[in-house]
């Protein structure tokens, strides 16, 4: 599918409107659902860019994502509506979220202000607490998997393609290495809910500094054996309390890390209310505007 093709096409009953994003294996388009009278987003594979085996893997990921995340509804998680088949190809139909990923947003803004980073991190922790309560580990928390619209107060986790139920045996080599916890690289340790907490700490680090916590050289060894570059050496205005929060979230051992996303969220809330006592930064209510 190309941007030109989306201008005229439909997928099932959905009328494609505009290309929202494009990656190596897929595209996401905004579309109109005339039956429900609402705007949705549709994720489709880039057939022309994939081998037959790669296409099967992408479609399998779609079904996995829908089966894991499709049963949940939370204002800080992108809602999956359905998986539909059109022209012998499956597509995910999901909630349309105005805005863009935090990764794309930061390409324009650079590192975020403290209040903005705290607000995003808090809402992500609330979302993580929700999915963890239901026994789901996201496994790929990162800037590119957080939708954000600052004017409307929207923060939503997305892309559950490598998520899994906690009782299922995990695949260790999934996720994005720059945000991976030490247990990914130690066969003696268990992938758990705390793995998402480490990744959220790494995400907060990057929102504030614009840098990854570890370099691209021997990354897994660094994650196992070295501490990240002190964030205050990259950004002097990060207060000691926030440094402590990030360090605890990214602790090497499970015992030293936050023991739940709720505990992580509570620490962010306490600091935010101290730094910005008269703000409404942590409100999770969303004010949608007409797309």
Q: Which of 37, 113, 115, 140 is catalytic?
A: 140
Given CATH 3.40.50.2300, say whether it is the number of domain 3-95.
no
Residue positions counted in the chain: 291
pLDDT tens sequence across 194-242: 999 999 999 999 999 999 999 888 999 999 999 999 999 999 999 999 9
Low-confidence winner among 27-31, 60-64, 78-82, 92-96 (lowest mean pLDDT)? 60-64
Backbone angles phi, psi at 31, to 5 degrees: -145, 160
Domains 3-95 and 100-275 agree in fold: no
What span, in angstroms and rounded, lies between the C-alpha atoms of 181 and 269? 24
At 23 the pLDDT is 79
**What confidence tens digit (pLDDT) does each residue in 16-50 have?**
999 998 877 889 999 999 999 999 999 999 888 88
pLDDT for residue 2: 43
pTM recorded for the entire structure: 0.90
pLDDT of residue 281: 82
Predicted pLDDT of residue 291: 41
pLDDT in tens, 143-196: 999 999 998 889 999 999 889 888 877 665 677 888 999 998 898 898 899 999
- 100-275 is classed CATH 3.40.50.20: no
CA pair distance 266, 269, nearest whole angstrom: 5
Say if residues 74 and 156 touch (Cβ distance below 8 Å).
no
Phi, psi of 261, rounded to the nearest 5 degrees: -65, -30
Angle formed at CA 30 by CA 27 and CA 36, multiple of 5 degrees: 130
pLDDT score, position 168: 78
Domains of the chain: which residue ranges?
3-95, 100-275
Quickly list DSSP for the chain: --HHHHTT-EETTEEEEEEEEE-SSEEEEEEEETTTTEEEEEEEE-GGGS-HHHHHHHHHHHHHHHHHHTT---TTBPPEEEEEEETTEEEEEEE--SSEEHHHHHHHH-SPPHHHHHHHHHHHHHHHHHHHHTTEE----SGGGEEEEGGGTEEEE---TT-EETTSPPPTT-S-GGG--GGGG-TTS---HHHHHHHHHHHHHHHHHSS-SS-SSSHHHHHHH-PPPPGGGT-TTS-HHHHHHHHHHT-SSTTTS-SSHHHHHHHHHHHHHHH-TT--TT-----PPP-
Residues 6+ apart with CB under 8 A from 178: 142, 202, 212, 213, 214, 216, 219
CA angle 161, 167, 173 (to 5 degrees): 45
Check if 140 is active-site.
yes
What's the burial of 15, exposed, middle or buried (CB within 10 Å: 0-12/13-18/19+)?
middle
Name the CA radius of gyration of the chain, rounded: 19
Mean pLDDT of the chain: 90
């Amino acid at each position: 599918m190309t941007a030109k093709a989306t201008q005229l096409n439909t997928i099932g009953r959905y009328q494609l409107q505009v290309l929202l994003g494009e990656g190596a294996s897929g595209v996401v388009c905004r579309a109109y659902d005339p039956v429900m009278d609402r705007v949705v987003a549709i994720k489709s594979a880039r057939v022309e860019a994939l081998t037959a085996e790669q296409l099967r893997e992408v479609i399998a990921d779609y079904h996995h994502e829908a089966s894991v995340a499709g049963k949940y509804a939370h204002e800080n998680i992108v809602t999956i509506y359905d998986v539909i088949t059109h022209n012998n190809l499956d597509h995910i139909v999901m909630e349309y979220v105005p805005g863009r990923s935090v990764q794309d947003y930061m390409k324009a803004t650079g590192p975020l202000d403290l209040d903005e980073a705290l607000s995003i991190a808090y809402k992500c922790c609330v979302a993580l607490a929700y999915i963890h309560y239901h026994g789901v580990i996201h496994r790929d928390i990162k800037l590119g998997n957080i939708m954000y619209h600052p004017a409307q107060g929207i923060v939503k986790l997305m892309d559950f393609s490598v998520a899994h139920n906690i009782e299922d045996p995990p695949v260790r080599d999934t996720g994005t290495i720059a945000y991976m916890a030490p247990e990914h690289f130690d066969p003696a340790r268990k992938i758990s809910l705390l793995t998402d907490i480490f990744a959220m700490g790494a995400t907060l680090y990057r929102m504030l500094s614009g840098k990854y916590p570890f370099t691209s050289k021997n990354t897994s060894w660094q994650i196992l054996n070295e501490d990240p570059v002190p964030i205050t050496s990259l950004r002097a205005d990060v207060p000691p309390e926030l440094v402590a929060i990030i360090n605890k979230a990214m602790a090497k051992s499970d015992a030293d890390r936050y023991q739940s996303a709720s505990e992580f969220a509570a620490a962010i809330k306490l600091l935010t209310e101290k730094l910005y006592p008269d703000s409404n930064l942590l409100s999770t209510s969303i004010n949608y505007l007409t797309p």
